[in-house]
């Protein structure tokens, strides 16, 4: 199982599924605001809290079924997992919704994508076995350029920098970038499914409290609304669960680089679901740049693995 999750093909498929799910959240969350009559930041935060807390409940139930026991974490891990929930869920999404309300969607998308850069840079300082290289830098740069290209629309880069807009989105990107690394570190102490369940429960619960204190409200749910909300709950549970599992068995950069595809999926799915233009030279160029960045980083990782195997065989000539 461990070796399967370390194969580049497996990582690629599962990471793209995660990013596709997260990318689909953009149009579906936009639709949900209309369906549930969600207006204003307090209500958006409350809605996010409900979504992530129930994602935690779903992950907890699945974890119990998989483990065939009550899913628990060590007492000594509670502060770290609670902190992970605050960083990865509460801070990221509370600041994201506030920042998004005070800037353009284009700026939000580009700033949010910089979290992949932050993950790889933070890994250089926190995990000794994963150092920054020129190859990783080139790959990340190409991926980031792809995100910028797909957001090159007239008027989208106007207005000056505002802390309550772009500033909070920068904090969001930093929070998510760092949380990717801390999640990797936590997987050495707790199972990925337990980390995902409890961080979503802690982070989502905190968002609910914040939303209540800010007097947010969410409208009534009808049948189609329940189906949509159930999908949003599922995508968060599945996305975070698979992502954390991949981080346990792979270097951070091998997984984090796929984060650049989230805006690409977001644009593509928005086009399909909201009847926007899908096929254009800009979208194609963006996809090519992001794909090139992913290929370069993963090729660099393959070369490192082969070098490690050769060194291992020299040290242990009779073993494989």
pLDDT, tens digit (0-9, with 9 covering 90-100), for 113-164: 778 778 888 888 888 777 777 787 787 787 777 767 765 665 555 555 678 7
pLDDT at 178: 92
Report the C-alpha gap between 200 and 179 in whole angstroms: 13
Report the C-alpha gap between 78 and 101 in whole angstroms: 33
DSSP string, 154-179: TTTT-S---IIIIIHHHHHHHHHHHH
pLDDT at 39: 84
pLDDT at 315: 41
pLDDT at 198: 96
Residue 127 belongs to domain spanning: 2-315
The pLDDT confidence band at residue 319, using thresholds 50, 70 and 90, is very low
pLDDT at 234: 94
65 within some domain: yes
Contacts of 305 (CB under 8 A, 6+ apart): none
320 within some domain: no
173 within some domain: yes
Report the C-alpha gap between 199 and 193 in whole angstroms: 10
**Residue 177 near residue 108, CB atoms below 8 Å:** no
Report the C-alpha gap between 104 and 27 in whole angstroms: 15
The pLDDT confidence band at residue 97, using thresholds 50, 70 and 90, is confident
What is the number of domains present in the chain? Answer: 1
269 within some domain: yes
**Residue 135 near residue 296, CB atoms below 8 Å:** yes
pLDDT at 305: 54
Report the C-alpha gap between 219 and 241 in whole angstroms: 29
Tens of pLDDT, residues 236-291: 999 999 999 999 989 888 888 888 788 778 777 766 766 655 556 766 676 677 77
Tens of pLDDT, residues 176-235: 889 989 999 999 889 999 999 999 999 999 999 999 999 988 887 788 889 999 999 999
pLDDT at 62: 92
Secondary-structure breakdown of the chain: helix, strand, coil percentages, each rounded to the nearest 5: 80, 0, 20
pLDDT at 158: 57
198 within some domain: yes
Tens of pLDDT, residues 42-92: 998 999 999 999 999 999 999 999 888 999 999 999 999 999 999 999 998
């Amino acid at each position: 199982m461990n070796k399967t999750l370390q194969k580049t093909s497996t990582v690629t498929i599962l990471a793209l599924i995660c990013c596709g799910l997260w990318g689909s959240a953009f149009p579906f969350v936009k639709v949900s605001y209309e369906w549930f009559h969600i207006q204003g930041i307090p209500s958006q935060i409350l809605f996010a809290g409900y979504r992530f807390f129930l994602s935690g409940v779903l992950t907890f139930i699945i974890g119990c079924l998989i483990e065939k026991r009550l899913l628990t974490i060590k007492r000594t891990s509670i502060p770290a997992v609670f902190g992970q929930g605050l960083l990865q869920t509460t801070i990221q999404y509370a600041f994201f919704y506030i920042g998004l309300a005070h800037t353009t969607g284009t700026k939000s998308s580009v700033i949010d994508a910089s979290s992949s850069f932050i993950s790889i840079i933070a890994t250089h300082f926190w995990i000794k076995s994963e150092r920054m290289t020129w190859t990783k830098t080139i790959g990340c740069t190409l991926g980031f350029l792809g995100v910028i290209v797909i957001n090159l629309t007239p008027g989208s880069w106007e207005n000056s920098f505002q802390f309550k807009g772009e500033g909070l989105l920068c904090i969001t990107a930093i929070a998510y970038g760092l949380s990717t690394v801390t999640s990797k570190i936590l997987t050495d102490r707790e199972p990925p499914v337990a980390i995902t369940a409890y961080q979503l429960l802690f982070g989502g619960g905190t968002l609910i409290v914040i939303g209540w204190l800010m007097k947010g409200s969410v409208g009534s749910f009808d049948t189609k609304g329940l189906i949509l909300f159930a999908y949003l709950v599922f995508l968060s549970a599945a996305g975070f669960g698979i992502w954390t599992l991949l981080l346990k068995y792979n270097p951070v950069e091998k997984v984090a680089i796929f984060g650049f595809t989230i805006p690409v999926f977001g644009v593509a799915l928005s086009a399909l679901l909201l009847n926007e233009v899908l096929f254009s030279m800009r979208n194609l160029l963006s996809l090519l740049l992001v794909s090139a960045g992913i290929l370069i980083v993963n090729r660099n990782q393959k070369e490192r693995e082969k070098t490690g195997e050769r060194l291992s065989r020299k040290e242990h000539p009779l073993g494989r």
